[in-house]
């Protein structure tokens, strides 16, 4: 039986049913063409996110984080490997996945409640039911009084809250978030981190959260995955066993600092390499590669 037939059958074989929220990327590769030349953006990236797990993905700029999320969402096709959500192969966007972008993508001509209702309308959820769900979500993020306002009347933090509940409204199994708070000021960002944790604890979605902030990743996640510079691979993972619920103050504890430092150590060379690649600095790249070779020799045959 081929893979296609297997996945079509899987609904009836309860012993092998894969939970809807499990996300698997297996040896995923993606190549772009830039200036007529192929550019390998992602090279055999593999990861699994278990149902209800909150996983953060960090990596240097340009390493392929957004590309990977777009592949998982089905906005772009893999060139190699495969992506499965709930045991089903991803080929296009679907209601089992929702994407929260860095800049909120609210429709300016729609009120807050009408924005949150977009996905429900697309799925032809009966009006009354949709209204009740929208009201529930607005209440959850303290925006009930803003239901009839328009996006331009909201602060950045409020807009991003609306953005998040709009994604949750369609009840996806997997929530993909691409640096959702990076445009916010530091205080708002802290509030939003608490907010996203609260929403996650209440909904228990599977979350894959991309951020360039190590602190944000450690604060939010059950596990932090580190991506290498381009071509991106998942090169290391760090389980975060800090107790929940986590208060902001946890960021000043030695345990937190220790894990954040370890992640930074893992990332440092790749961030520099990435900078050298993006700025076409060949000398810097050569020096970094030499340093990596020296380290590899020094560490023996660990891996």
| Residue 166 or 230 with smaller CB distance to ligand ADP | 230
Q: Is 174 in contact with 100 (CB distance < 8 Å)?
A: no
Among 10, 31, 66, 213, binds Mg ion (CB under 5 A): 66
Q: Cα–Cα distance between 53 and 200 in angstroms, integer?
A: 9
CB of 55 to Mg ion, least distance (A): 16
Give dist(CA 45, CA 263) in Å, integer.
Answer: 18
**Rounded distance, CA 110 to CA 147, Å?**
10
The rounded Cα 114 to chain-centroid distance in angstroms is 25
Residue 119 interaction partner, one of ligand ADP, Mg ion, none, beta carbon < 5-8 Å per kind: none
- Out of ligand ADP, Mg ion, none, what residue 279 binds, judged by CB under 5 to 8 A for its kind, is none
Closest CA to 69 of 47, 52, 53: 47
What does the alpha-carbon distance between residue 23 and residue 264 come to, in Å, rounded to a whole number? 26
Is residue 42 within 8 A of residue 227, CB to CB? The reply is no
Residues interacting with ligand ADP, by CB under 6 A?
A: 32, 34, 39, 41, 59, 61-67, 230
Q: Report yes or no: 271 and 59 within 8 Å, Cβ to Cβ.
A: no
Chain residue at closest Cβ approach to Mg ion? 66
In the complex, minimum distance from the CB of residue 208 to Mg ion, in angstroms, rounded to a whole number: 13
What's CA 273's distance to the chain center, in Å? 23
- Kindly state the smallest distance separating residue 61's Cβ from ligand ADP, in Å: 5
Task: Please give the distance of CA 38 from its chain centroid, rounded to a whole number.
Answer: 26
In the complex, the smallest distance separating the C-beta of residue 228 from ligand ADP, rounded to whole angstroms, is 11
Q: Which is nearer to Mg ion, 130 or 177 (CB)?
A: 177
> Closer CB to ligand ADP, residue 102 or residue 197?
102
Shortest Cβ distance from residue 259 to Mg ion (Å)?
A: 23
Q: Does the bond joining 165 to the residue before it have cis omega, within 30 degrees of 0?
A: no
Among the listed ranges 58-66, 78-86, 250-258, 284-292, the one in contact with Mg ion (CB under 5 A) is 58-66
Q: Of the two residues 68 and 220, which places its CB atom closer to ligand ADP in the complex?
A: 68
Shortest spacing between CB 263 and ligand ADP, in angstroms:
16
Q: Which two tokens stand for residue 124?
A: 């032809």
Of the pair 150, 275, the CB lying nearest ligand ADP is at: 275
In terms of CB distance, is 280 or 283 closer to ligand ADP? 280
Please give the residue ranges that form the binding site for Mg ion (CB under 5 A): 66
């Amino acid at each position: 039986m081929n893979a296609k037939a297997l996945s079509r059958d899987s609904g009836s074989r309860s012993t092998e049913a894969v939970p809807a929220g499990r996300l698997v990327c297996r040896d995923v590769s993606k190549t772009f063409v830039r200036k007529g030349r192929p550019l390998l953006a992602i090279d055999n990236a593999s990861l699994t996110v278990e149902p209800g797990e909150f996983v953060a993905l960090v990596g240097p700029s340009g390493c392929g984080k957004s590309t990977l999320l777009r592949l998982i969402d089905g906005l772009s096709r893999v060139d190699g490997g495969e992506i499965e959500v709930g045991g089903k192969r991803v080929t296009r966007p679907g209601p089992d996945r929702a994407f929260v972008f860095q800049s909120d993508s609210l429709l300016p001509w729609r009120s807050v409640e009408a924005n949150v209702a977009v996905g429900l309308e697309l799925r032809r959820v009966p009006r009354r039911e949709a209204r009740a769900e929208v009201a529930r979500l607005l209440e959850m993020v303290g925006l009930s009084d803003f239901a009839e306002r328009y996006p331009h009347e909201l602060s950045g933090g409020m807009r991003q809250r609306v953005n998040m509940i709009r994604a949750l409204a369609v009840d996806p199994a997997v929530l993909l978030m691409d640096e959702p708070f990076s445009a916010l000021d530091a205080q708002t960002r802290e509030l939003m981190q608490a907010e996203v944790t609260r929403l996650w604890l209440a909904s228990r979605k599977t979350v894959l959260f991309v951020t360039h902030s190590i602190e944000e990743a450690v604060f939010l996640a059950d596990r932090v995955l580190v991506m290498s510079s381009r071509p991106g691979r998942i090169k290391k993972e760090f389980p975060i066993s800090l107790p929940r619920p986590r208060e902001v103050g946890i960021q000043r504890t030695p345990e937190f600092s220790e894990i954040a430092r370890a992640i930074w150590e893992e990332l440092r060379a790749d961030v520099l390499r990435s900078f050298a690649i993006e700025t076409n600095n060949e000398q810097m790249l050569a020096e970094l590669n030499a340093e990596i070779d020296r380290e590899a020799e020094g560490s023996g045959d660990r891996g």
